[in-house]
Amino acid sequence: MSARVQIARKGSTSLIGLVVVAALGVSSFSAPGQTSNAEAATPFASGALVGKRFDIDDLAALYIPRSVSRDKPAPLLVVLHGGGRQPYRMINIFKPYAERHGFVLLAPMAKGATWDFILRPPNGGSGSDLMWRARMKDDPPRILEAIRKAGTFVAIDGKRSALIGISDGASYALTFGPDHPELFPTIVAYMPGMAFPNPAYKGAQRVFIAHGRQDRMLFFSYTAKTIVPRLKRAGLDVTFHPYDGGHTFPPASVTASGIAFILANNGN
């Protein structure tokens, strides 16, 4: 079941699990020993929304599983679609894991047919890393605003949240995610085609990358020989998981390995 939700901007006393200042990339996710706005308030804005998928304006689809605890904030999985703008499919893929482990799912929608720097590559695709990153303009504010608005429905535990992407979404996760280590302690990327981490990266994120050896669209060899070493040189802690398969949604066992990686990073 799906329902569209229009959310008016509220004052500083509203229930917000996290507040994101998009221009600065700053979040009020709780630091160790601190209490977020949501932890100090009721975790659920509306119990009627539990177990349903609904839209947050034109920004994202949100799913709050029935397994989410009403007594404490929940981890958020931000799941980025591939080309074709399919957020509902992302919700459907990860819904079983959300129910099993108590993850809230947020599937942002790219402004265009795919994520901005992939839709408009610099110099026909031959630009420098910084030129690619400069094309990342439209979608970061949309993702950050979707996260902020998700926090008006359910309290979010930022220390146990993660960013996941498939195909184009994986490329975006590996480029956008390292810009926000305070939001995403863990990043999971299935079948990426590129990655342009910030050269000034200072985080300590753990990254899981899975890619099928028979992928003929976004090549396995490029991930193994270029993307993984590039991320490691930037300072990210990368685990690479090759598997047999082409450019399709990953097998259930591979998807589950990514979820297990997140759980292990969360101390579960």
- Give residue-wise pLDDT tens across range 210-227: 999 999 999 999 999 999
pLDDT in tens, 115-133: 999 998 888 777 888 899 9
Q: What are phi and psi of 62, to 5 degrees?
A: -125, 140
Q: Give the closest residue to 207 by CA, choosing from 233, 177, 193, 187.
A: 187
Identify whether 28 is part of a domain: no
CATH number, residue 115: 3.40.50.1820
199 occurs within a structural domain: yes
CA dist., res. 254 & res. 56, Å (int): 29
Whole-angstrom distance, CA of residue 172 vs CA of residue 164:
9
Is 173 within 8 Å of 187 (Cβ atoms)? Answer: yes
Q: What is the pTM of this model?
A: 0.83
Strand partners, 44: 154
Rounded to an integer, the average pLDDT of 195-205 is 92
Indicate whether 243 belongs to any domain. yes
pLDDT at 195: 97
Is 57 a domain residue? yes
Q: Judging by DSSP bridges, how do beta strands 186-190 and 162-166 pair with one another? A: parallel
**Which tens digit of pLDDT belongs to each residue from 1-55?**
444 433 333 332 222 233 332 222 323 333 333 333 333 333 455 566 788 899 9
The model's pLDDT over 73-103, given as tens digits with 9 standing for 90+, comes to: 999 999 999 999 899 999 999 999 999 999 9
Residue with tokens 């066992």: 253
Residues 266 and 268: their CA atoms lie apart, in Å, by 6
24 located within any domain? no
Q: Write out the residue range of the structural domain in which residue 237 sits.
A: 45-265
* Total domains, the chain: 1
Residue 244 resides in a domain: yes
CA-CA-CA-CA dihedral for 35, 38, 40, 44, to nearest 10: -150
Sign of CA dihedral 130, 174, 117, 192: positive
In a domain? residue 206: yes
Beta-bridged to residue 207, according to DSSP, are 187, 238
Question: Across residues 245-267, what is the average pLDDT?
Answer: 95
Residue 145 lies inside a defined structural domain of this protein: yes
Predicted confidence at residue 85, as pLDDT, reads 86
